[in-house]
Structure 1
Amino acid sequence: MKYNEISHFSHLQHTLKFEYTEFPFKCDGCKEVGIGSRYRCATCDFDLHMHCALPSSSITHPFYTKCSFQFLSRPPGDTPRFCNACEKDVTGFVYHCKSCGFDLHPCCAKLPMMLDDGDVKLYLYRKVSAACHKCGRKGRSWSYRSTCKKYNLHVACVREMLMESWHDIYVGRGKGRRLETRIPSLKNTLHTHHKKSKGKVQKCCEIAGLAVQFIISALLGDPTTLIAGVIGSLMSRA
């Protein structure tokens, strides 16, 4: 087996090859959207996020110090479950804490505690008291907050922005439907709650827009500058 190939329990018939793509794909492990690094079987059109292809058998998380999350190939039990980070349904691979009942998508479980592009630093919080820059509400899901503490973005809200454009990413697959590859636009999605001069408000929104690019990159399983740049480029065309 080549160094860039792996065998995986979820796809035993073929090996999976590592590749890098600037186009979205649906991970056949966690059933969520991905972009960037992946392991793929081209013969079967089978894709896995890096986090799903090479999972840890168990993890801990700084937000849940008393929990031990075990990697499962499917959600436990028969009742619907949701991710405690992004609030989206869990339908595939998951990290689950048996004692507390908490669930995390593999990509959400590995969200960076800090995103930094050299100018803007965003820190991940379980809860923040300030309003989200997009929805204007407090609380809700995990949030990324700027160093200056002037704006916050719920992980759930950024996830919703992403899914607004990619809602039907693989619905009707094989029936001639076109794959939607447009990254969600920021137009009319971010609201400012600051009573400041127009220049400062505009700057705040620009920073928030940059933040969205990086958070989307992280949610898609590849929080790299390159992918953030690709997302930013596509967003500017929308």
Structure 2
Amino acid sequence: METTKRGCPRHQEQPMQLKPPGSPFKCSGCREVGFGRSYHCQNKNCGYILHEECANADSHASHRFFHRSQFELCEKAPGNRDRYCDACGKDVLGFVYHCSLTGYDLHPCCLYLKDSISDEEGQISLQLCEKVPSVCVRCNHRNVVDGVKGWSYVSSGSGRKYCYHVSCVKQLILENLNRGYFTQETNSVGMSNREYSQLAVRSMEMVPSGGSWRRSGTVRKYTKIAVLVFKLIFSAVFGNPITAIAALVEALVSD
């Protein structure tokens, strides 16, 4: 059985068990939501669960956006004040990479975000950026909050650059999760899972309503691009999509 760098603090004698993607979960380490593979304590009465990134996090790390910072993994935020992640702007509630010299903090999952993501057909390519060329498609601002720039995924290629805050993606996913969109069940008013999921994706507004992308083709092409962008950023931020989301993506793209 694979051994992780970190295990359950209450049952350290038992190795953590890797499980495939399933229902959304809250990581016991960083306290962030996860959708991909996860490590579980094997004690049947224990609910300790970790992201892959948290279970196998290195004790020390660096990041290209912070040249002067040397990050150390802490199991809780240092100091007596509230801290936020300098990548997504969200609160630090558990595991965090902290630099005592510069004061920067990063969620483990944010530190390990991919520098670039693209679909298999090469239609969409997005780059992780610290400085953005335009406002975020979702919130229409450059900064996540006042004084916090936050990281973004930015479309590459010629023409206008479209930016998507990592923070805004997280918020959109969590809002739709709370509405029950990420389940495979039929809701109480009789809407099918596919209709329910379509509503979830289209409420994301992950592609701007105007601009060259929408004018360049039909609404079908627009929807396909929207789904690709959603799938790519979702996967980068939260891990591999759960079964319902993967099925939804295939269904919409094939329409």
Shift in Å, 1:219: 1.7
Letter in 1 for 2:204: T
Report if the CA contact (8 A) 2:23-2:242 is conserved: no
Match of 1:40 in 2: 40
Among 129, 152, 157, the alignment partner of 2:168 is 157
Match of 1:86 in 2: 88
Match of 2:204 in 1: 189
Between the two proteins, the alignment pairs up a number of residues equal to: 222
- Cα distance change of structure 1 residues 237 and 77 upon mapping to structure 2, 3 Å threshold: farther
Please list, as runs of the form range in 1=range in 2, the aligned pairs for 1:58-207 lying within 5 A after superposition: 58-118=60-120, 119=122, 120-140=124-144, 141-148=150-157, 149-167=160-178, 181-182=182-183, 185-190=200-205, 191-194=208-211, 198-200=215-217, 202=219, 203=221, 206-207=224-225
Structure number having the greater strand percentage: 1
Among 215, 232, 236, the alignment partner of 1:218 is 236
Q: Aligned partners of 1:201, 1:155: CA distance in 2, in Å?
A: 28
For the aligned residue pairs, the C-alpha RMSD in angstroms reads 2.9
Unmatched tracts of structure 2, length 5 or more: 145-149, 184-196
- Cα distance change of structure 1 residues 199 and 100 upon mapping to structure 2, 3 Å threshold: same
Range with bigger deviation, 192-201 or 94-103: 192-201
- Cα distance change of structure 1 residues 106 and 136 upon mapping to structure 2, 3 Å threshold: same
Deviation by residue 1:101-125 (Cα, 9 ceiling, x = unmatched): 1111100000000112222221100
Shift in Å, 1:131: 2.1
Q: Aligned partners of 1:197, 1:82: CA distance in 2, in Å?
A: 35
- Structure 1 runs (4+) greater than 3 angstroms displaced: 5-10, 179-184, 195-206, 227-230, 234-238
Match of 2:53 in 1: 51
Q: Aligned partners of 2:28, 2:73: CA distance in 1, in Å?
A: 15
Q: Secondary structure at the match of 2:231?
A: helix
Letter in 2 for 1:159: K
Q: Secondary structure at the match of 2:110?
A: helix
Unmatched tracts of structure 1, length 5 or more: 169-178
Q: Aligned partners of 1:185, 1:197: CA distance in 2, in Å?
A: 20
Q: Aligned partners of 1:234, 1:196: CA distance in 2, in Å?
A: 22
Letter in 1 for 2:209: T
